[in-house]
Structure 1
Amino acid sequence: MKDKLSLQRNIGMPQAIALYIGAVLGSGVLIVPGLAAEMAGPASLLAWGFMSLLILPLALSMGLLSAKFPNAGGVSHFVTLAFGPRAGALVGWFFLMSVPIGAPVAALTGAGYMTAAMGWGNPARIALAAGMLVTGLVTNWLGMKVAGKVQIAVVIAIVAVLVFSFAAALPGMERAHFTPFAPHGWISVGQAAAILFWCFIGWEAVSHLSEEFKDPQRAAVKGVSIAAVIVGVLYFLSALATVGTQSYLHGGADASLLWIISQPLGAWGGFIAGLTGLFICTATIIAYAGAASRVAYALARQGNAPKWMGRLSRRYQTPVGAISFLTGCFTLVLSLYGSGLVSITTLITFPNATFILTYIGGCAAGIRLLRGSRRGVTISWISFAATVCVFPFTGWAILYPLVITVIFAGVVYLRDGAKSRGIIEQ
């Protein structure tokens, strides 16, 4: 008897906004404002302003496609419609193989803030990271209705802490801290903008959840617009607080926001700062674990991934096969890190190129699929150009998608050969 299970439409507007914010407002908000200020001084605020404006077309390009073509395949589905099933499947695998590394990196980053603040060792960091990954997997196993509610609570906590940090920074902000405005020259502003780009990627992840939106048109377009404004404001305020207090000089460029949070709270400051890191990175994990499990389900449904990845829970109607795959991948990556065979610095580099390629594919699909809308095509072109310009900066990380492409091409070749010989049923 054919399985009638399917994904449920449980994601309303509040959950969609929270998922978008959680996917984009990652650990970068704790690190990048200080790094950008160290690189360009107060002039880094110009880079933040530019990127805060660019964030809307980046977000809307994915939102418009999700509204018009809601599907668990997300970007993979958009590329399939625009350029064919094989291109779509390859982009789907790019995204799917990014998350098994990217999510553990986010977990280790968030856990690192807490262990550093509390003086705990590496075993505690790994244990906390494992707990964060389990939280992301379990909430997605229970369904997007539960995951969305958890995400709302986590995002509210994040926003509250960031707003508090800005308010706490106001008394320490001085006009003298904004001069000289461009101590390292104007070229440094462009260099700062390049690293800020990574803070604004994540909109493509939620496209994989669009099949579960109650109202795709409203949640994808209006929801992503609201989320983009909130994220842009939070990032800019964090950067303003960092420059205005010169916390990047006091607390270190990579811990400037943690210094701002901890200063007014005394003994509790470190704990609150560490907890903020856990919340921010857990929100990212929930969004990306949900996205990856849905794209794996979609690939299996299309015959481009093993059938067991498409298995749904009979109780929650969630992709348990794909969640099992992610569980195995997360366990492997944490084990490799715990054994000392790979460092977090090495792990960070791997998913960069695949994430960017996924976004490039989605924007290119938008140029073709949104031809009936001048606004949609313009937005897609802006997003496509921005992501193409950033791609060369991924460096040797391009080897990772190259390996994925070679393996994918080999599997397709063998499968097509088997079909032609009648070994596999057409």
Structure 2
Amino acid sequence: MVFPLIAELFRTKSVDQLKETAEKRGLKKALGPLDITLMGIGAIIGAGIFVLTGVAAANYAGPGIVLSFIISAFACVLVALIYSELASMVPVAGSTYTYTYAALGEVVAWVVGWDLILEYFFAVCMVSSGWSGYMVGIFRSAGIALPQYLAASPDAGGLINVPAMFIPLLIGFLLIRGTKESATVNRIIVFVKLAVIFIFIVLAVPKVDPANWTPFLPYGFQGVMAGAAIIFTAFLGFDAMSTTAEESGNPGRDLPIGIIGSLLICTALYVAVSGLLTGLVPYTELNNPEPVAYALSAVGYRLGSAIVAVGAIAGITTVLLVMMYGQTRIVFAMSRDGFLPDWVGRLHPKYGTPYMVTAVSAGAAAIVAGLVPIRILAELVNIGTLFAFILSAIGVFILRYKLPDLPRPFKAPAIHIVAPLAVIMCAVLMLMLPLATWVRFLLWFSFGLIIYFGYGYRHSRLSKEKAVELVSKK
């Protein structure tokens, strides 16, 4: 009795079944390679460059934050190769959740899906908090001082962070209106924030004081690694790109271009900005919610600071757009597979978007962003991301042996080196996170397993399909 139960927990869904499900109840194909690349840049460049850079430099790595970004980027390049292969091979909504269902089985797929919900949901909450910090700063510059109790979380002396609650609700509204419309908004804002980053670079170069780079590693190399673990979420965008597979016109070509291209562009910008930022002012002064604008203001560029603050608002908004997009597509895929009630993944009759989950996600994110400190949110996002990356690397390795003849429009090179190295790099970064983060992570998963065994296991569509097959054979 025990062995059949275990076998059911690890039942897998074939790639053909995944594609068939998407064809029966799928999303509109509305995205091209430029849309996907810009969505990647929109997701990657945001809170990481405008908020977390300063926090990580001040508390963990100092000027060595440059090395932290390079280390995180190296791990991400390995994972990006893996995601590109998986996304081109299984062009269905759901990201790692979908790939794991095909490679490792149902219960592991549920764990990954639940993990991705944590990753994207808390990313939305974290970035909303960063968005609020810059928005409050802009109001302050205009002579409008928002009451502290309405503009900060309880840990920062406030009662509730109202600006952080407003923005996820706005993003949810945009996503319900349609994917193509959201991509158009994203494209415009991405060009705005790239222009702002180049303005920052041009203004910062003449004002750099090399003395601020000494000592370069004030917290030692361990601080660099801890900084890499904290700012890892800055690269989260390329992961979200894999959730666009079902809405891509040509996923075998478009996804590898979007995933790898956006990652390389953003890595170069991160390294440049973090180096200049710590060269403008002492790293100890960067522990605030608007470090880039603060640094320019500190060296006399008040107008430049205001421009960067506006660009940061634009940049962080696109991150929110893509993060909430990714989360809703994963929940949609899980609902379609029967793990969650049908109403959760219901599509809008006019816009063809999963409006129910989008509305619920936006409302829940607004509440959490208004009350929970940004530091806790960032740590939860990172541990969820790293865990998903580890399972993706294991999954692509297994699929190479399990389904060797399956068409792979993009094939990750040297998979016997890339996959194990990706697992090792991500595991090391996970171990650098605080014990309290691990405790919250395990509590989240315990709650998820209760939902799976209480609802998902019994309502799984794969389970029902196999039961029908058994009846028909009899």
1:120 equivalenced with 2:141 (yes/no):
no
The corresponding residue for 1:387 is 426
* Alignment equivalent of 1:66, drawn from 87, 99, 116: 87
The corresponding residue for 2:390 is 360
Read off the aligned partner of 1:88 and give its amino acid letter: A
The corresponding residue for 1:47 is 68
The corresponding residue for 2:49 is 29
Matches within 5 A, 1:141-220: 141-220=176-255
TM-score, normalised via structure 1 length: 0.85
Structure 2: distance between partners of 1:95 and 1:256 = 29
Structure 2: distance between partners of 1:357 and 1:314 = 36
Structure 2: distance between partners of 1:89 and 1:29 = 32
Q: Shift of residue 80 of structure 1?
A: 0.3
For residue 229 of structure 2, give the secondary structure of its aligned residue in structure 1: helix
Structure 1 residue ranges (4+ consecutive) displaced by more than 6 angstroms after TM superposition: none
Structure 1: distance between partners of 2:380 and 2:68 = 26
Structure 2: distance between partners of 1:297 and 1:139 = 17
Q: Shift of residue 17 of structure 1?
A: 0.7
Structure 2: distance between partners of 1:319 and 1:412 = 19
Structure-2 change in CA distance of 1:226 and 1:305 (3 Å)? same
Q: Shift of residue 124 of structure 1?
A: 5.4
Mean Cα displacement is larger for which, 17-26 or 405-414? 405-414
Structure 2: distance between partners of 1:16 and 1:364 = 25
1:87 equivalenced with 2:131 (yes/no):
no
Q: Shift of residue 149 of structure 1?
A: 1.4
Q: Shift of residue 66 of structure 1?
A: 0.8
Structure 2: distance between partners of 1:351 and 1:291 = 14
Unmatched 5+ stretches in structure 2: 1-22, 153-160, 405-410
Q: Shift of residue 413 of structure 1?
A: 5.9
Q: Shift of residue 9 of structure 1?
A: 0.8
Q: For residues 50-70 of structure 1, what are the alpha-carbon distances to aligned partners after superposition, in whole Å with 9 as ceiling and x for unaligned?
A: 333443222222122111111
Do 1:103 and 1:285's aligned partners in 2 also have CA atoms closer than 8 Å? yes
The corresponding residue for 1:287 is 322
For residue 146 of structure 2, give the secondary structure of its aligned residue in structure 1: coil
TM-score, normalised via structure 2 length: 0.78
Q: Shift of residue 112 of structure 1?
A: 1.7
Structure 2: distance between partners of 1:88 and 1:50 = 28
Structure 2: distance between partners of 1:67 and 1:196 = 28
The corresponding residue for 2:10 is none
The corresponding residue for 2:129 is 108
Structure-2 change in CA distance of 1:326 and 1:184 (3 Å)? closer
Q: Shift of residue 303 of structure 1?
A: 1.0
Q: Size of the alignment, in residue pairs?
A: 413
For residue 314 of structure 1, give the secondary structure of its aligned residue in structure 2: coil
- Aligned-pair RMSD on alpha carbons? 3.0
Unmatched 5+ stretches in structure 1: none
Matches within 5 A, 1:234-253: 234-250=269-285, 252=287
Structure 2: distance between partners of 1:265 and 1:317 = 49
Q: Shift of residue 233 of structure 1?
A: 0.7
Structure 2: distance between partners of 1:333 and 1:290 = 18
